[in-house]
Chain A
Amino acid sequence: MKVYGASLLKGLMYTLKTFVGTYVEDFKGTKDNYAEHGLRSATEGAVTVQYPESPMPIGSTYERFRVLPMLVYDQKEDGEKDVRCTSCGICAKVCPPQCIWIVQETDENNKPVPNPEEFFIDTSVCMNCGLCSEFCPFDAIKMDHQFALNVTENRQENYLYDLEKLLVPAEYYAELHPKANAAEEEARRLEAEAKAKKAAEKAARLAAKKKAAEEGGEEGGEKEKPAKKAVAAKADDPERAARIAAAKEKAAAAKAKREAEKAAAAGEPAAEGAEAPAESAEKPAKADDPERAARIAAAKEKAAAAKAKREAEKAAAEAAEPVAEPAAEPAEKEQDA
């Protein structure tokens, strides 16, 4: 004769055990646990993701996470955007649902110029497969991590991303995909080195300078421009815009630091470099979410001001602490948020 209900009780006990166990995990410090195992959850049970407040960590471990494609551009010295895409069309040719549309730029003689004139991705068709970025020979098209892609109306227009909407600065990409970016940069560096064997030294210095420019962005006036673009493009996407701005801010801060070092001799505080991006940073975010943008901007201004101050003080003595840290903080916060 079977005892009915015994395993029911057993099951209930299990649930109870799990319930109590969650508190035990809390006491033990779940976070350490999962960091230790590289999981996004504890050794036992699961950790509930507190989504809007603290989403699942991505970091460099999960950097391959892919949602929509984006186009990477480098900042040229003169502030122009150097769109990496050469409109070779491989992404459009490998795209399984054929959601990429590219118009190749032509010069006055109707000869193709390696630049996209128009670039569309219909994100309501895109299957997030990542083949475009996998086969892009120029590291130009990459996968974004931004998954909150809600719209409430006009989905056809809103989900058709054009060049403006797709372009992101290289810093943003570097922040999302640190490992991949490092590897690619290394590869590009090697390639450049091999190519410029003849004028080895000069070319190497140029590349380094260019890289510095990539990272550093340029003076305030030009800084404003890309940020504005971001306003236009990412108006519906304050988070990403804020992140881009923050990444730039970080780079700009680094640059400011270098400049401060340079300026130390002249005893001139190099605040402008940091000021301008901070200003521009508040714009994209403000578009939709004034509260958050204000917060970010405030944090940034504060950081920039503090930094500039310290910069001026320490520049002569060559500040050891990376002054970019406080400015970078909002960026990281954004990423976690």
Chain B
Amino acid sequence: MTDLRVIQGDAEAALEQEVRRHVSITSIDKVLDTLNNWGRRSSIWPMQFGLACCAIEMICTASSRFDIARFGAELFRASPRQADLMIVSGTVTKRMIPMIVRLYNQMPEPKYVISMGACSTGGGPFKEGYNVVSGIDEFIPVDVYITGCPPTPQALLSGLIELQKKIDNQHYKETRWYHPEGSDERTVPMLGPDLVDPRQLDRIKQAASAEKAAEAPELPKLFKAFEVYVPEPEEAPEPEAEGEDKPKKKVVKKKKVEPPQVNPSMQAILDKYPQVSVTVASTLLVPAEDLHNVVRHLKTLKLDYLQNLTSVDFEDCFEVVYNFSASQAVDTEVPGVTLVVRTDKENPTVPSLSAFWPGANFQEREVYDMMGIHFDGHPHLRRILMWEGFEGYPLRKDYLEPYYEAPTKIFPSRWKEGHHTFAEDKNPWGRNVKYPKDWDPDSFPYNDDDPDFASLGAAGTLRNDLLEVNMGPHHPSTHGVFRMKLALDGERVVRLYPMMGYLHRNHEKIGERNSWIMNFPYTDRLDYLTSMSNNHGYALAVEKLAGIAVPERAEYLRVIMTELNRIASHLWAQGFLLNDLGAFFTPMLYAAQERELILDLFEMVSGARIMCNYMRFGGVAYDLPDEFYKPFRHLIYDRLPRMVEELDKFLTTNEIVMERTQGLGVMTAEEAIAYSCSGPVLRASGVAYDARRNHPYSIYDRFDFNVITQPRGDVYSRYLVRLGEMQESLRILQQADKALPQGEIIDKKQWNMRVPAGQAYGCVESPKGQLGYYVVSDGQSNPYRYHVRSGSFINLTALEKMCQGHHVADVVVVLGSLDIVLGEVDR
């Protein structure tokens, strides 16, 4: 009554206020809204759907430390039909967007979308790439955006809370799902020569028929022409700088080692084949017609392992590069060789190696896809990362992306007169697309995925009574956006055709535009579970090329970080293997819980949980903070050893694990080598090939550790190898902790540098397999060619071999035992 007295001037309002105070329910609408919204907000079921790095943080959000269940959102549903919320977690690629829109359409109302991370919000760091959609909201409506790269689990929770607030304000009469128009359906984009939005089809047609003057003013790309090529390097010193590129190269070269470094293996080849010559970049130039002979001879030289296969686009030729090494011998005994084959630019053709090394299969397809080089005799030469029908070969230097701005970073538009513009505004379509000049949208066959199936049948293996099953790219057990096409005879796998590229983020194209240092944070995002290893490999390759020394303490820090990362990654792998075996998420939670502690250390040292960006050329970015040592020692001496022991105790003799994994997915040693498998997959087949031993790098020669191998080559062996490697990593860590010296962590921090011309292949033993970086420098501040040899990608070559004859349920387990990460597979 006091209120009434105070505001007697407005009696009506006062009365209403009074009524409100004493009668809490004023209308049926309010009751319904309150109940309805309360129910919805407290039981948001997200879809089990992850695209890239952000998905890892999303999984962490669901694990015990961040416990999304506190918000009633723990029920991650694998099927869109049971989900309320789509968390678009990661980079949305053009190849993936049709699937995402379809998934969205399949979700029943009410449906909400959280765009998690910079990539799905606005393209993120990969925005400039040719296969990246700049923002999921171009195709589906978004309720809450969370930027950050990646947003931490807490950031995701804050986004979820934001969504709950939004739900709280819903009024049931206004929500679309209680109206006749019903569900929100979005147009599914198509994959033409580029991503085609059917809503823009009319405009595209008009533009195609109209004069294409608007699209003409593309920036001409300036390229360092001709790269290393001198048949007789011994005579190289005489020409002095004449202003042209070639002599300049030699001059630069002279500074390093004037004649190319010819190791015994190279000499053996040179002696046997006079037609083979050596270049100033210490590669062996093999005539295309002799390639088969030479590589056959390599096997007699013990060089039986095809490490890496890639290509370089030079001004006068395409060059296909092969790195060979010995799987049974250390580098110092049998050094590896780099062969190059050159082919003309008009009609580039190179003989295929996939008959000798099945491991070349996917790599050659990648070269074909990215550079348009044909491989004679390849069994199935199709695009692999992009879709059939995509226009252009992206890694050719003359390929310009839709958002193309300048040949190299640093973009001149950013500084001094850096008035901000959105890349979208400069594109005629307002998105990251471009179409060929006279493209006819009507007659284009938009069969983005069927050709592969057809060709699967064409191989003569697919009979009518076989069942065709698609697994992925949205599938809870494919560890990301990976897709397999299976041809099944009953329950048995007859053919398996892996399809990838759904997370192809154009790492290499962007990497060639970046300055050298800019690639560090990008490498974090390759295999987003092992950013430390990724940094390390890249640093090694460039340091090799530039001849940069690393201080003692920095080497130790690198080893400590990469080994911690190995444990974190293997934990994740073991947890997910159990997931794939059907022990859904519980073992995973235990693994993730320990991993969090390692991530804490990373955050303390580098500032980020998973995107550490910790290493620099010639050292590391930061020294350890004083608070690091205590938790670190607690982890490596006490907690992690106990935990690994526990894993061993509960899983190794677990009869379900044993029954499901023993004898499954067997690779013999010979097969594993031929398929260029690496990492635990190779070592589980009994081959003691570990880059830390075979290609000694950093200071691994100072530590006492075993290369864990298992003889049987099945899934169980891979599990055991990973378990053993965790123990070995702990041993290394303990030794490193004891020997960690004081001192400098980096000589000179440079934000921009030039690297002498040449080529280098640097590799590390990443937890997933051998991670190699092939870099070519033309002496500038950007890599001329930057290629990532990804263990995950090449291990997948053997997937079909491993799965054939097994049940379809076992495919999931075999895939889990390969421990792929799609960021590294697709790059």
A residues whose Cβ falls under 8 Å from a Cβ of B: 2-4, 6-8, 10-11, 14-15, 18, 37-41, 43, 45-52, 55-56, 61-62, 64-68, 87, 89-90, 92-104, 112, 118, 120, 122-131, 134-135, 143, 147-152, 155-156, 158-160, 179
Q: Which residues of B contact A152 (CB under 8 A)?
A: 143-145, 162, 166
Selected contact of A129 from candidates B162, B520, B653, B749, CB within 8 Å: B520
- A-B pairs, top 8 by smallest CB distance, nearest first, are A124-B122, A101-B418, A129-B521, A64-B607, A148-B158, A96-B518, A89-B415, A127-B125
Q: Which residues of B contact A43 (CB under 8 A)?
A: 634, 639
Selected contact of A39 from candidates B118, B124, B597, CB within 8 Å: B597
Asked if B65 and A49 make an inter-chain contact with CB atoms under 8 angstroms apart, the answer reads yes
Q: Which residues of B contact A160 (CB under 8 A)?
A: 420
Q: Which residues of B contact A100 (CB under 8 A)?
A: 414, 418
Asked if A101 and B420 make an inter-chain contact with CB atoms under 8 angstroms apart, the answer reads yes
**A96 to B121 Cα, complex, angstroms:** 18
Q: Which residues of A contact B183 (CB under 8 A)?
A: none
Indicate if B656 sits at the interface (CB-CB under 8 A): yes
Asked if A129 and B415 make an inter-chain contact with CB atoms under 8 angstroms apart, the answer reads no
Asked if A147 and B122 make an inter-chain contact with CB atoms under 8 angstroms apart, the answer reads no
Nearest residue (CB) in A for B120 is A124
Asked if B520 and A93 make an inter-chain contact with CB atoms under 8 angstroms apart, the answer reads no
User: Smallest Cβ distance from B16 to chain A, in angstroms?
Assistant: 22
User: Smallest Cβ distance from A156 to chain B, in angstroms?
Assistant: 7
Selected contact of B650 from candidates A11, A45, A158, CB within 8 Å: A11
Q: Known contacts A89-B415, A120-B418, A124-B118: does B607 contact A130 (CB below 8 Å)? A: yes
Asked if A97 and B146 make an inter-chain contact with CB atoms under 8 angstroms apart, the answer reads no
Query: What string of 1s and 0s marks CB contacts (under 8 Å) between B513-543 and chain A?
Result: 0110111111011000000000000000000
**A92 to B418 Cα, complex, angstroms:** 9
21 residue pairs A–B, Cβ–Cβ below 8 Å: A39-B600, A39-B631, A46-B65, A49-B65, A51-B66, A61-B627, A64-B622, A89-B414, A89-B416, A93-B415, A95-B414, A103-B419, A120-B418, A122-B422, A123-B118, A124-B124, A125-B124, A129-B611, A131-B520, A155-B122, A160-B420
Q: Which residues of B contact A155 (CB under 8 A)?
A: 115, 121-122, 135, 137, 142, 145, 147
Q: Which residues of B contact A52 (CB under 8 A)?
A: 157-158, 161
B residues whose Cβ falls under 8 Å from a Cβ of A: 64-67, 70, 115, 118, 121-128, 135, 137, 142-149, 151-155, 157-159, 161-162, 166, 409-411, 413-420, 422, 514-515, 517-522, 524-525, 583, 586-587, 590, 593, 596-597, 600, 603-608, 611, 613, 621-622, 625, 627, 630-631, 634, 639, 646, 650, 653-657, 749, 751-752
Nearest residue (CB) in B for A67 is B148
**A73 to B647 Cα, complex, angstroms:** 51
Asked if B124 and A118 make an inter-chain contact with CB atoms under 8 angstroms apart, the answer reads no
Nearest residue (CB) in B for A151 is B145
**A92 to B515 Cα, complex, angstroms:** 12
Asked if A64 and B125 make an inter-chain contact with CB atoms under 8 angstroms apart, the answer reads no
Asked if B654 and A94 make an inter-chain contact with CB atoms under 8 angstroms apart, the answer reads no
**A125 to B611 Cα, complex, angstroms:** 15
Asked if B655 and A6 make an inter-chain contact with CB atoms under 8 angstroms apart, the answer reads yes
**A18 to B650 Cα, complex, angstroms:** 14
Q: Which residues of A contact B142 (CB under 8 A)?
A: 155
Nearest residue (CB) in B for A123 is B147
Q: Which residues of A contact B144 (CB under 8 A)?
A: 150-152
Selected contact of B65 from candidates A47, A125, A127, CB within 8 Å: A47
**A230 to B594 Cα, complex, angstroms:** 40
**A37 to B638 Cα, complex, angstroms:** 12
Nearest residue (CB) in B for A130 is B607
Asked if B422 and A156 make an inter-chain contact with CB atoms under 8 angstroms apart, the answer reads yes
**A11 to B586 Cα, complex, angstroms:** 10
User: Smallest Cβ distance from A326 to chain B, in angstroms?
Assistant: 29
Selected contact of B593 from candidates A7, A45, A147, CB within 8 Å: A45
Selected contact of B122 from candidates A87, A89, A129, A159, CB within 8 Å: A159
Q: Which residues of B contact A112 (CB under 8 A)?
A: 416
**A304 to B143 Cα, complex, angstroms:** 41
Asked if B517 and A94 make an inter-chain contact with CB atoms under 8 angstroms apart, the answer reads yes
**A234 to B166 Cα, complex, angstroms:** 20
Q: Known contacts A97-B127, A102-B418: does B66 contact A48 (CB below 8 Å)? A: yes
**A159 to B54 Cα, complex, angstroms:** 18
Q: Known contacts A51-B158, A96-B522: does B147 contact A101 (CB below 8 Å)? A: no
User: Smallest Cβ distance from B163 to chain A, in angstroms?
Assistant: 9
Give the one of A6, A66, A67, A129 with max B CB within 10 A. A129
Q: Which residues of B contact A4 (CB under 8 A)?
A: 655-656
Q: Known contacts A128-B611, A131-B517, A131-B751: does B155 contact A148 (CB below 8 Å)? A: yes
User: Smallest Cβ distance from B219 to chain A, in angstroms?
Assistant: 15
Asked if A128 and B162 make an inter-chain contact with CB atoms under 8 angstroms apart, the answer reads no
User: Smallest Cβ distance from A332 to chain B, in angstroms?
Assistant: 18
Q: Which residues of A contact B525 (CB under 8 A)?
A: 127
User: Smallest Cβ distance from A73 to chain B, in angstroms?
Assistant: 19
Selected contact of A92 from candidates B122, B123, B161, B415, CB within 8 Å: B415
**A296 to B65 Cα, complex, angstroms:** 29
Selected contact of B67 from candidates A7, A48, A93, A135, CB within 8 Å: A48
Asked if A129 and B613 make an inter-chain contact with CB atoms under 8 angstroms apart, the answer reads yes
Asked if B125 and A96 make an inter-chain contact with CB atoms under 8 angstroms apart, the answer reads yes
Nearest residue (CB) in B for A66 is B607
**A281 to B549 Cα, complex, angstroms:** 51
**A101 to B410 Cα, complex, angstroms:** 11
Asked if A147 and B155 make an inter-chain contact with CB atoms under 8 angstroms apart, the answer reads yes
Nearest residue (CB) in B for A149 is B147
User: Smallest Cβ distance from A103 to chain B, in angstroms?
Assistant: 5
Q: Which residues of A contact B524 (CB under 8 A)?
A: 129
Q: Known contacts A41-B65, A118-B419, A156-B122: does B622 contact A147 (CB below 8 Å)? A: no
Asked if B519 and A37 make an inter-chain contact with CB atoms under 8 angstroms apart, the answer reads no
Q: Which residues of A contact B414 (CB under 8 A)?
A: 89, 92-93, 95, 98, 100-102
**A55 to B245 Cα, complex, angstroms:** 57
Q: Which residues of A contact B586 (CB under 8 A)?
A: 11, 15
Q: Known contacts A135-B751, A149-B151: does B65 contact A48 (CB below 8 Å)? A: yes
Q: Which residues of B contact A156 (CB under 8 A)?
A: 122, 422
Q: Known contacts A7-B654, A51-B158, A149-B151: does B597 contact A125 (CB below 8 Å)? A: no
User: Smallest Cβ distance from A31 to chain B, in angstroms?
Assistant: 15
Q: Add 4 more A-B contacts to A7-B654, A127-B124, A130-B608 (CB < 8 A).
A: A7-B653, A41-B65, A46-B593, A64-B605
Q: Known contacts A93-B415, A97-B125, A127-B521: does B146 contact A149 (CB below 8 Å)? A: yes
Asked if B751 and A130 make an inter-chain contact with CB atoms under 8 angstroms apart, the answer reads no
Nearest residue (CB) in A for B613 is A129
Asked if B118 and A7 make an inter-chain contact with CB atoms under 8 angstroms apart, the answer reads no
**A99 to B410 Cα, complex, angstroms:** 11
**A38 to B628 Cα, complex, angstroms:** 8
**A120 to B144 Cα, complex, angstroms:** 23
User: Smallest Cβ distance from B348 to chain A, in angstroms?
Assistant: 31
Q: Which residues of A contact B608 (CB under 8 A)?
A: 65-66, 128, 130
User: Smallest Cβ distance from A115 to chain B, in angstroms?
Assistant: 13
